[in-house]
Amino acid sequence: MALPPISADALLRAQITYCEGVRSMPYADTRGNVTIGIGWNLTANGLPDWAISALYDQAIADADAALDHVCPWWRSLDAVRGRVMQNLMFNMGPATLAKFPLFLAAMQAGRWGEASDQLGNSAWYGEVGRRGPLLTKMITSGLDPALPEAS
């Protein structure tokens, strides 16, 4: 039984992949251009909107999965405070978020002022710019504040 023919597109992809290689981390190509993936020239092209969106969607999904693993109670929070937890996991990752046990205990228990104070009095708060005030306000108020245009 004969195998179906390989499409011209599949052959092209195989050949380019063979020539370029596959790199998950940025590297400098032979001309010094920062490149990633299969020959994507970041220096010349940056990231297109579709790639930014796909990476962002995956990062949020990864944050949710990490929260489900380390703080399964987060899904019982109201929507606003649940988004605080998602935002923190997105920013910190599980290892760093785990370094905030008093904050996590306060969030789980619904002690919003204490949870806000734990974040507000941390070194993290001073390092994250507008994220710190936004999240602590969301924790204490239970409301989504209006946001100016992101830059």
Domains for the chain: give ranges and CATH numbers.
9-45 (no CATH), 58-141 (1.10.530.40)
Residues 6+ apart with CB under 8 A from 61: none
Taking Cα atoms as reference points, which of 151, 99, 95, 147 lies closest to residue 123?
99
Structure tokens at 37: 């993936």
Determine the pLDDT at residue 5.
83
**Tokens 């039984």, residue?**
1
Determine the pLDDT at residue 69.
97
**Tokens 């929260």, residue?**
67
pTM of the model: 0.85
- Are 47 and 74 a contacting pair, CB within 8 Å? no
Q: What is the CA radius of gyration of the chain?
A: 22
Determine the pLDDT at residue 151.
58
Digit-by-digit pLDDT tens for the chain (151 residues) are: 787 888 999 999 999 999 999 999 999 999 999 999 999 999 999 999 999 999 999 999 999 999 999 999 999 999 999 999 999 999 999 999 999 999 999 999 999 999 999 999 999 999 999 999 999 999 999 999 988 776 5
DSSP state of 47: -
Determine the pLDDT at residue 147.
83
- Are 74 and 52 a contacting pair, CB within 8 Å? no
